[in-house]
Every structure is written in structure tokens, then in C-alpha cells.
Structure 1
Amino acid sequence: MNQLTVISGKGGTGKTTFTSAFASLAENSVITDCDVDAADMYLILKPEIMETFDFIGSKIASINDNLCNECGLCRSYCRFGAITEDLKVNIYDCEGCGVCEYVCPENAIHLTDRNSGKFYKSMTRYGPMAHAHLGIGEEASGKLVTAVRNKSRELAEEYDCDLVLIDGPPGTGCPVIASITGVDMVLVVTEPSTSGIHDLKRILEVAKYFDTPALVCINKYDINGDNTRIIEDYCRENGVEIAGKIPYDNTPVKAMIQEKTVIEYSDNEISKTINDIWERVRWRLLRTT
């Protein structure tokens, strides 16, 4: 089973556009949406949920009023201001660190499991899908990404799929690391902007650290020719292959409005270019493994 993660150093570069397009081109794959903070793959693929699972991502403090002597130590030691003046726990501020439980002289505070979101086993028109929803203001998104990836591997075994396509989160933090750990290759989607160049370099360093082969795709390459050349030069100097370049086009927006992948929506030049990129990525993925 091969695993490919589509990532970027920043949001809005087109990761979901590419991953959903690849899903419509690949055969026998599991689709995985690991952008749990802002999942949007479901907008295109409209998955039918088969099973729902609770995600216990962290702990939350609970005060037993019958044991509490109102000494206020919990409130004075809490660095996050999660204990109110009337000694109640603000669930949105509590980080589950446990210091209140530790300092309480009456053993009146305990940490309990916190339901931080849900993850799903679903079916789409292109095969099984694992995805999730992280609760508002919740932490531990990296743990939820891991739960989603574990579910995708289960789906691959259940449906005898030989490829896991992962739509990764933006940035370089814990969720990204959880989405690329152990995969066979990453495709980094970037754009020729100052922030795009900066974050491309950062995410390539992350991939290099984990010894994960990387390809680069430059989206909207024609909006700034100078910056596109900077990206090409950087990739060439660092031995990173550019899988392809996509010009600026509103086809992805129109396709998403119609709840379709770019490949489904139109057989125009953008679709053909993405198809070529997929063939190049697929070939490299087979060589890597």
C-alpha cells in the first residue's frame, strides 16, 4: 500500500483541488482528509458517513462542589485563567494540564476525558474516505490526524486498496508532521508569492528531516514570473523535482461550486495538466516504493 500526502507551507495554495482531482484519476484508493481544523474535501466528494467515532483528544478539569472547601488554590495556580471567581471550570480555557488537581488539598478536582471532535468512516463516488471534524477551540489536532490516518489504513485493508491519498493540513506544525510521518512521498503545492516561497522552503525542510521524498507543483505560476523562477531555481539547487506548473484559472472555483473535482467539471487545459502531473506523481511514487 502506497501513501501520498499533498501538503503546502501555507493555506489556500490548492491542496484540496489537487487531492480531489487525484482521487478522480486514481484507481483503488482511500481518500483521507487530514486538514481536521478546516476540512473541506467533503464539499467536493459529498461522502456518505458509514460510522462515526468520538475523538478524545485531551483532558478537562472537573470540580466536585461537595468536596471543595473554596480555598482558591486551583484558581491562583492556573496559568490559563480557566478557574472562574466562583470556582467553576471554563471549558474553553482549560488546557487539561492538571496543576489544579495537583494542588487541591481536598482532592476535589479530577481530570476527565474531553470529547474534542469526531472522525468518520465514509464512502464517496471514488471509494472509501476517512475524515474528521475538530471541535471549536479544541487542541490536539495532531492526535486527530493520527486517528484519521489509522482509520484510512483500516479502510485500505478492508477494501483492498493499494493507495492512500492524503489531503494534508497547511503549515509545518504537529498536524502536518502527523500527516507525513511514514508516507512514501509528499507533493508540495506552492504559489509564486513571497509567503509561498518562504513557506515552501520550510515545508521542504520538514520533509527532508523525515527523509520523505518530495515533489513540487507551482500553482498559479503565471501571476508572478520572477517568483516562479525563484522557486524553480531553489528546487533545482536542492534536488527537488517540479512535477508541473498550473496557470491561474477559475476552473477550480467553478468546479467546487458544482461539487465536482476539476477533472469531472471540465476537459480543459487545466484538467489535462493536472492529469499529466498525476501521471508523473504516480510514476515517481511507484519508483519510490
Structure 2
Amino acid sequence: MKQLLILSGKGGTGKTTIASAFIKLAKAKVYADCDVDAPNLHLVMNQSAEAKRSNYYGLPKAVINPKLCVQCDLCLQNCRFDAIQVGLDYQVDDYACEGCGVCESICPVGAIFSKPVLTGELMLYLDDAIFSTAQLRMGSGNSGMLVTEVKKQMRTAAITDHDLAIIDGSPGIGCPVIASISGVDMVLIVAEPSVSGISDMERIIKTAAKFQTRTAICINKFDTNIENTVIIESFCQKFNLPFAGRIPFDPDVVKAINRGQSIVDMDCEAGRATKNIFDKTIKILFQESLG
């Protein structure tokens, strides 16, 4: 099963809009939303079945037993994350604690122990397709680990033969993006023709290169800045990166999203351009795999 990952350097570039269109065009039976901080692919895909939900526990965090604590102050003095709070008792701030274990190791009376903390929820939809996603709890870390579980859940559920899995990744280049890239066959970067968009694109390309992952580029809302669009296309040509195409700014995209539809569910200019990009991307993906 080939895995196509769709990424962008920042939120708001149209990554999920394009991912949902690709899923519809491919009639994909396996897909995932790895933007665990703010998953929204389900809003467009209109799942009919209830999700199978399971709790996700990230790295353990420290807990202080007030009955054993002698208030020696060693944990407070040695916590570099300022996670120890002092009131009537010594307590650990779950949001500040990084689970490093220093306080537990230096406590002279064994009053501190590590406890698994609920940091998110995994969701798996199994109706006419396999859709894996998750929601990270507010203020929780370990988003990269949760992304890994989303992909693992998707692959485990896809026990029968499938040609293609489409993954909607996270914005940026942090841990969730790195976890998203790991193991995929190709990355399609949705670039934005702005100064920050060009910088974001270059950062993702460098990140994907560390994994030796095939990368292609498309530009969304290209006509909002033709000059920067030309810069992106020239960059792709200079570094021999496949350029999948341009998508124009189209007010009908907003109408489709407000209706809970994909842009290929209605006849619009952006939808037609996305169809062309899809055809080219799939050709690149499977030609690369055959080569």
C-alpha cells in the first residue's frame, strides 16, 4: 500500500481541502488525519459510522504523595521546568512537567512516582472506508508519538490489499510532521505564494530530504501573488523537484467547505485544477514506486 502524505508549512494553505479532494478523486478506502492538534478532515468526509475510540497515554509525569513527602525542597530546587508548586503540600503542575524523572530519582523518601497521563484520544472509523485520526488534549505534548499511533492504527486496520492511503499531515516541521513523514512513499507540499510560504516550503523539503522521501510541490491560490509563484516554480526547476501544478483563488471553495463538501464535489475552477494536480501526483507516486 502506497502512502501519500499532504503537508504544508503553516495552517490555512488549503492542505486539508486538497487532501479531502484527493480522497474523493482516488475513491480512497484508507486515509488518515495526522493533524492531531486540530483535526478537521472528518468535517468534510462525513463519516456515517460512529468512531471506535481509545484513550492515548503519552509519557508519564510525576506525582507527589503528600503523605510521604517531607518537604525537603529538593524537587523544587532541581526541577528545571518549574513544575513543582508549593502550597499546603508540594504538587506537580501537569502542564509544566516534562516527565524527565529527576524529581523522582532525587526524592530521599520515595514520595514521587511517575504516572501515565491521558493526553489524547484515538478514533478509528470503519464504514465503507478506513479513517484513522486522533485529538490531542489541550496543553498536552507528545503529538509526534500520537501521530505515529494514528498511522499504526490505519495500517493495522487495512488488513486487506489496498493500493493507496492518503494522509493529511500537520502544518509546520515539528515532531508531528516528522512522525507523519516517516515511512510514507511520497510527500505533496501545498505551498502558498507568500514570503513566509516560500520559507515554509523550503523547510519541509529539507525535512523530507532527511528521510529520502520523494517530494512534489503544488501552489494554492497562485494568482494572489504571481511573482512569488514564479519564484516557487523556479525553485522546483532548479532543484529538480516535481511541480504538480497551480490552483487559483476561487470563492467557490468557501461555499464547498461551508456545505461540508470537497471542492471536487462541485464544478469550480479550483476543483478542476485540483483534479489535474491529483492526476499528476498519482502518476509521480506510482512511477516512482515502479522505478
Q: Please give the TM-score of this superposition, normalised by the length of structure 2.
A: 0.95
Deviations 1:239-263 (A, max 9, x none): 0111010111122222111111111
2:28–2:166 contact (8 Å) kept in structure 1: no
Count matched residues. Answer: 286
Match of 2:106 in 1: 103
| Deviation string, structure 1 residues 164-189 (Cα, Å, up to 9, x no partner) | 10001011111111101111111000
* Structure 2 residue 16 is the aligned partner of structure 1 residue 13: no
Q: 1:120 offset after TM fit, Å?
A: 0.9
Tell me the residue number matched to 1:140: 142
Rounded Cα–Cα distance in structure 2 between residues aligned with 1:216 and 1:123:
31
**Amino acid paired to 2:80:** R
Tell me the distance in 1 between the aligned counterparts of 2:36 and 2:200. Answer: 20
Identity %: 44
Q: Is the 8 A contact 2:4 2:184 kept in 1?
A: yes
Unaligned runs of 5+ in 2: none
SS of structure 2 residue aligned to 1:11 = coil
Could you report, residue by residue, the CA deviation over 1:195-240 in whole angstroms, capped at 9, with x for unpaired residues? 0011111111111221111110000111111111111111100001
**Cα distance, 1:9–1:124 mapped onto 2, change above 3 Å:** farther
Q: Secondary structure at the match of 2:120?
A: strand
* One-letter code aligned to 2:78: Y
Partner SS, residue 263 of structure 1: coil
Q: Distance in 1 between matches of 2:72 and 2:207?
A: 47
Q: Given the alignment of the two structures, is residue 155 of structure 1 paired with residue 157 of structure 2, yes or no?
A: yes
**Distance apart, 1:56 and its partner CA:** 1.1
1:124 offset after TM fit, Å?
Answer: 6.1
Indicate the SS of the match to 2:58: strand
Question: Greater CA deviation, 201-210 or 44-53?
Answer: 44-53
Residue 112 of structure 1 pairs with residue 131 of structure 2: no
Supply the distance in 2 between the matched residues of 1:142 and 1:274 (Cα, whole angstroms): 29
Of 125, 130, 133, the residue aligned with 1:131 is 133
Give, in whole Å, the separation in 2 of the partners of 1:174 and 1:243.
26
TM-score when normalising by structure 1:
0.95
For the residues of structure 1 that align with 2:76 and 2:254, how far apart are their CA atoms?
Answer: 49
| CA distance in 2 between partners of 1:273 and 1:115 (Å) | 42
Query: Aligned residue for 1:235?
Result: 236
- 2-side partners of 1:49 and 1:116: how far apart? 21
- Over the aligned positions, Cα root-mean-square deviation in angstroms equals 1.3
Structure 1 residue ranges without an equivalent (≥5): none
Q: Which runs of 4+ in 1 moved over 6 A?
A: none
User: C-alpha deviations, 1:129-162, integer Å up to 9, x for none?
Assistant: 00000011111000000000001111222x5322
